[in-house]
Amino acid sequence: MRKSKIIVGITSQYPLGMHVDLQQQIYDLVHPVGAEKILLDATDIPKWKSDIDLEKESVREPTASKVTKYLSEKNKKRSEIISLLFQEIRLASKSPIEARSTAGHRLRIATDAYKGLQNENMNDATGHISGLLIDLEKTDAAADLATIGMAPLVQMLRTINTEFITLRDERLKSEASVGVTKGSVLRTRNDETANEVFRHIEAAYLSTTSDDDRKAIGELIDRINKALQYTKTSYRRSLAQKKASADRKKKPKDPKAPKQPKEPKKKRKESDPDIRLPENEPKKPGGEGEGKKPDDGKKPTPGSPGGGTGGGAGSGGGPEIHLPEE
């Protein structure tokens, strides 16, 4: 029994650019082999190539959306310039300098017909801006613009408007070139064609009676599988990189360790004495009786602590200590 060789198959999950590149790689591998050797009709491979080329054209679909974004940016810039131009013309018409006010009045007459132009939608504004530029190109208006110093601003408006029109035309050409066939439709169609080609190649490998043809077809199968595996690995790697980048953005910064709260000061209780006595009274030098303070001349009251008649506590020459009364 002959051992079969299988092509793993193709998938449409890849991004449009990666998908059409894979289709082109496979076509480049299959095309040099004669159609009859892999059991295909003579028209099958050229038709496949035509659909691959159409898919390449469809890659420009996302470009059209980018152009739309640029158009919006250009239109916003045009509106800003027009607002500034009209404002400067009004200010010039009110200038105490006669030359400026005269030029400003004439320009205001010309531009009042375009009042509110900066607030119009893109399509309407484009034609009106072209008309405004034509009016400002006239000899008298050009001289007045130079008098009030607004000639560079008008030139800026002319440049932005030209860029806007160029981008708009590019978008129209791009949309027209793609036609009614969308990229997703072409992608599915080309995947179906490629998978049919794979089945014919596998059948040809088993059915051929030529060892040389079987070897060549077997090598073709190996190369196709390698191209499929390489694209699959690249796609998974790109997904992993995007995920890692997203995780880094979401990961919060390490929070700082909270400061340890200071120990609160011990509150004094009402029962605590006003005077704290030392736990061990220091010994008097020279024994008891030495270092005694001289008598201040006051006689102790009988019965009072330290008095001569009381032999109890408080005698012995110790210092008098008065505790606060409760």
Where in the chain are the domains? Answer: 16-60+183-247, 62-178
Percent of the chain with pLDDT over 90: 48
Listed residue (194, 183, 181, 191) closest to 44, CA to CA? 194
**Residue 295 confidence (pLDDT):** 53
**Residue 144 confidence (pLDDT):** 94
Report in angstroms the alpha-carbon separations of 83 from 87, 117, 154, 218, 237.
6, 9, 12, 71, 50
Among all chains, which residue has been given the structure tokens 């796609």? 235
Write out pLDDT tens, residues 196-237. Answer: 999 999 999 999 999 999 999 999 999 999 999 999 999 899
Distance of alpha carbon 33 from alpha carbon 198, whole angstroms: 13
**Residue 141 confidence (pLDDT):** 93
**Residue 244 confidence (pLDDT):** 84
**Residue 317 confidence (pLDDT):** 53
Q: Which residues of the chain have pLDDT under 50?
A: 178, 180, 287-291, 304, 306-316
**Residue 13 confidence (pLDDT):** 81
Amino acid at 107: L
